[in-house]
Structure 1
Amino acid sequence: MDSGRNIICSGCRQRWVVKASNKSAAIVCPSCRINILEFPNEELQTNQQQQGLRSRIRNFGHHMKSKMHQGTIIPHNPSLNHESSHPNPPRSFKRAVLCGITYNNWKYKLKGTINDVRNMRELLITRFGYPRECIRVLTEEETDPRFIPTRKNIEDSLRWLVNDCRSGDSLMFFYSGHGLRQPDLNNDEDDGFDETICPVDFLTAGMILDDDLNSLIVRPLKPGVTLHAVVDACHSGTILDLSHVYFSRE
């Protein structure tokens, strides 16, 4: 089995796995498209070779920083949003809100949620034809404060998702993060609990309930509009508070 080799991009610092069978002398970062490292054509077998490679990595990193400082290379921008560069994008019948939260400053930090968002975004663009400027991404890595996954920003983005929806529209909501539940206060839950998702500021701003999500992105849907919701969180089976729930017998 080809387990691969771990490398870290000296430009954007993302970690990638390169197949051990890949004998290419040049490895290009899939994210920032910078030639990040040159591997020898033979597998490393001695400590001396490994030390030599580490030295080359350090030298390449210093070279990249120098080039960036001189303005000859544009630094990698972690933002995945193209909306800011299109203040008035043309209306599209395909729109998406993708939210991934790692809770960096919280005890129960998650790993991989931002990668989930990146992969989903790439899938929507390359496989399903969603315009880049019509995909709104919320992660803690975004530089625009409008796209930090706070409760207010998530709710505003969900309103944006369904605003002026029309028959034939295809809408997508993706969430990767923590999910909890709390006692049901309006007696509309069979199990006595409301399911929730947890914005990055939920300890102060509160959680977003299944009742809230239903009001934000289910009730406003016009006839003929399709909404796909993928929620990767605990207690998310009935997170949209839909009238019907499907249970597989398998």
Structure 2
Amino acid sequence: MLTEDETNPLKIPTKENIRLALRWLVQGCQPGDSLVFHFSGHGSKQLDNDMDEVDGFDETLCPLDYETRGMIVDDEINATIVRPLPQGATLHAIIDACYSQTVLDLPFVCRMNREGYYTWEDQTRSPYKGTSGGLAFCISACDDNQTSVDTTALAGNASTGALTYCFIQAVQNEPGLTYGRLLNSMRQVIRGAKTGGLRLNGPIASLVNKALFNTEITQEPQLSSSETFDIYAKQFIL
């Protein structure tokens, strides 16, 4: 676990420490292993130079020292923790950051409307961005063109990502839920913030918290995967 409050220089979320942690996560991975990568922080995007993005942008994570060392690009994240994943191993990434839907560059994106109907969008490009036989899932805070907001619901005066809060609530309140139910539950909580269900922070949320109910929260939690499946039949298990 890397946090900016650590005094140990090896446990601060610098670019190099995050890179080392990602490599550690998949090192020696075997069939039957379940890997989890949770990131709660800033996300951004930049122009795609290798033509492997549908929207023309690479999504990025911002380490603590990104202003001097640069951001971590989705291509690197995919190459480090997705493509090496062997048959029989599973990876779940929970990414609580802006512009984060395709930050793992997984081949399939779940497009869901407000009624819960969904289709899988194939974003396969060259080079291959899938696994080495394993399963990879990414639960992200928002679409690639959306920003995410914060909440103090988890830790009093300390702000944490709204996705993290919604994810924890959904999993704790409904054991055995499916991926579809998880996604719908998180989206409902964030939409409910407009009516006071969840106090949010940030530039978009500040308008909502002042009861300007004509202001729409555009953040919608997303799901992407290394393969398609029935999201209302497959149980969510870490």
TM-score after normalising by structure 1: 0.45
Query: Taking CA–CA contacts closer than 8 Å with sequence separation of 6 or more, which of the two structures ends up with the larger relative contact order?
Result: 2
Larger radius of gyration: 1
Query: Taking structure 2 as the reference length, what is the TM-score of the superposition?
Result: 0.47
